[in-house]
Amino acid sequence: METRPGNDRTELLGMNLQELEIVVENLQLPRFTAKQLARWIYVKRCSDFNAMSDISQKGREILADRCVIGLSAAIKTSKSADGSKKYLFAARHGFVESVYIPEKDRATLCISSQAGCRMGCKFCATGGMGFKGNLSAGEIINQVLSVEESDRLTNIVYMGMGEPLDNLPAVMKSMEILQAPYASAMSYKRITLSTVGIIPALKRFLDESSCHVAISVHAASPEKRALIVPAEKAYPVKEVVALLREYDWSHQRRISFEYTLLGNVNDSTQDAIELAALVKGIDCRINLIPYHDSGRGGFSPSSAEATEKFIKILEQKHINTTVRRSRGKDIDAACGMLSAKQTNKRNA
């Protein structure tokens, strides 16, 4: 169980119902207090024990003395001209960012699982930060509960800062709580995890979760991918795809492959042919992502002509292909741009 640095009070955010029951039992409070706490924290997003009106006054005093809720507001909010918003949160190991993306039929929050990242992808600003530390389940959930749009979110994507499968225990626990009926009760169909493909953790995730998966490919050629995504050396994309072929993708769970188009690097006809061959026979979607300048790697976006040609080749191979629309580029919130570098300003 988590405790706040510098004191011995137990942090409740990030606990599941069973853990909350242990807390209230240790505090000699009624067992049903655990469900009350879960509702106040995860449903009502309450950050003050005194406001928990259905818990006895004595119970609230005991909880305030021995526990801390753990919810914390963003320290900065940036709004894009396109309506998306970037939130900056303080975590134990540094700062992390989340991005809210409103659309006509959905409201998506892109959340972080780590401060920084170990994967070092060459086009990604987060990769340039290095690894600062894993987020706890509570720090992950805090992003969902503390954005202004929390009560209208329809989708959660673990595509922010960090590699989710490099922090699998906390990520899985956060997903468990988000889906729990006593908490957010979000359907697994509304949650997607993005990963470069850490194979042992990916297998566990596929076996224990029904949430959607997005694999960061960025090049189908092993040699070329290793130059862009260093994790290729430890977890070859061909082995990742071989693992995926062991699972059924024809029903509720979806698999997609993310591919950032880099001008004159991975956007040739041959690159498209190799990508099509890599995913052949899998019921999937290819998400082509425009490159957003992160200040790393010296890359440039693919030309419109190269992008159209790439799409045409994939469609000729009968592969469902979309181009992700850039959102939040003007506030450094688009794919590959998160770095939590603005820590000294509030509510820009």
Residue 208 falls in the annotated catalytic set: no
Is 218 part of any known ligand binding site?
A: yes
Is 284 part of any known ligand binding site?
A: no
Is 53 part of any known ligand binding site?
A: no
Is 197 part of any known ligand binding site?
A: no
Rounded CA-CA distance 77/55 in Å is 33
Is 93 part of any known ligand binding site?
A: no
DSSP per-residue letters across 309-329: HHHHHHHHTT-EEEEPPP-SG
Rounded CA-CA distance 13/19 in Å is 11
**Reduced 3-state DSSP string for 241-280:** HHHHCCCCCCCCCCEEEEEEEECCCCCCHHHHHHHHHHHC
Is 318 part of any known ligand binding site?
A: no
Is 194 part of any known ligand binding site?
A: yes
Rounded CA-CA distance 15/39 in Å is 12
Is 46 part of any known ligand binding site?
A: no
Is 147 part of any known ligand binding site?
A: no
Rounded CA-CA distance 206/120 in Å is 24
Rounded CA-CA distance 156/185 in Å is 12
Residue 284 falls in the annotated catalytic set: no
Is 117 part of any known ligand binding site?
A: yes
SS3 88: strand
Active site residue: 46, 67, 110, 335, which one? 335
Active site residue: 2, 11, 21, 97, which one? 97
Binding-site residue positions for [4Fe-4S] cluster = 117, 121, 124
Binding-site residue positions = 117, 121, 124, 162-163, 194, 216-218, 292
Binding-site residue positions for S-adenosyl-L-methionine = 162-163, 194, 216-218, 292
Active site residues: 97, 335
